[in-house]
Amino acid sequence: MIRKRKFEDMGVITSMEALFQKKRGYVFRMPKPNSEVIMLVSGGLDSVLTWGLLLEKYRLRVHPLFLNKGERRASQEERALDYFSTYYSKRYPSLFVSPVKQTIYLPQKEILSSLKTPFDNLLKYDKKTIRGFNPYTTTNIFLGSPGMVPLYAMLHARYLELKENKKIRTIFSSVMIGDGLMCPSQTITSIRTINLAMCTFTGDYTWQFTSPSVEPRLHHYYQKRDLIKWGSKSNIPMEKTWSCYRGLYQQCGRCLACDARKNEFKKANVPDYTQYSKAYDLSIRLRNRLKRMARLLHIW
């Protein structure tokens, strides 16, 4: 399955895994129950469900790390994080650890403020909009920024070691099998590369970085729909997670993230109780109608 993926490099993966095997005797080893690990949590559907999976299935003491990267949806993601912090603290009282929140800007705040449009915009094609693209479905993806985020988790692990004498060497993300089809920094190749960087930066080959959904040594590959099915069976209130790229009170229902969310709930055959903004949908239609009228007036 990995071999057929556009951004994967089997030569790189094979060589790095051979190096891990030589240096530490394994490529990845799931920590034993009650072990302490760090998890990058955004408040989104994937990360919240992965957080729950690590608590429920693997019985790990998860230290959630929330990074405010300066995106529009940061406050909505934080609101979702706070909700599930309360929820998981009641559901898993013996394993729960309160999240730590940190602020970083990717790209840097000075760069963001000087740009009219972000690098590498993802645009959802929409035949109903003028010129084929709807500018209100853009999201900020800056080069390989997802590959930089795990290093902040490694710094947090070092902080916990110095401050609280807790030696944590396993860091989890919530990368899904479908993410690597669009973003090279979210592939197995990148995950192994980041893990190797952690080891060589510190000279410590006990560092582990991976995502439970794509880790080959766990012998499964979860798509978003698989996590949704698990979340439904586990009665997790998934409607409280946040996916939308826009910073609205409710999720817009039209951007790439909302569109993917809706489709995956359908594929999972699970009811989607997310509240999507009807007002936003009406405002987009009104904008498009005004643009069409402007074009007609210009033609006349």
Q: What is the pTM of this model?
A: 0.84
Residue 51 clears pLDDT 60, i.e. is over it: yes
Percent of the chain with pLDDT over 70: 83
Radius of gyration of the chain (CA): 21
Terminal Cα-to-Cα distance of the chain (whole angstroms): 55
Sequence-separated (6 or more) residues with CB below 8 Å from residue 90: none
Residue 8 clears pLDDT 50, i.e. is over it: yes
Q: Which two tokens stand for residue 253?
A: 């229902």
Reported in sequence order, the residue ranges of 69-176 that DSSP labels E, i.e. its strands, are 100-103, 170-172
User: How do residues 92-145 score in pLDDT, each as one tens digit?
Assistant: 999 999 999 999 887 777 776 666 544 334 434 444 443 333 433 334 445 566
User: How do residues 239-280 score in pLDDT, each as one tens digit?
Assistant: 999 999 887 889 998 888 899 999 999 999 999 999 998 865
The rounded distance, in Å, linking the Cα atoms of 186 and 175 is 6
Q: Which two tokens stand for residue 42?
A: 């955004």
For the ranges 25-29, 186-190, 296-300, the maximum mean pLDDT occurs at 25-29
User: How do residues 173-187 score in pLDDT, each as one tens digit?
Assistant: 999 988 877 788 889
Sequence-separated (6 or more) residues with CB below 8 Å from residue 265: 225, 228, 271, 272
Q: Name the pLDDT band for 286 (thresholds 50, 70, 90).
A: low
203-to-195, 199, 200, 206 alpha-carbon distances in Å: 12, 6, 5, 9
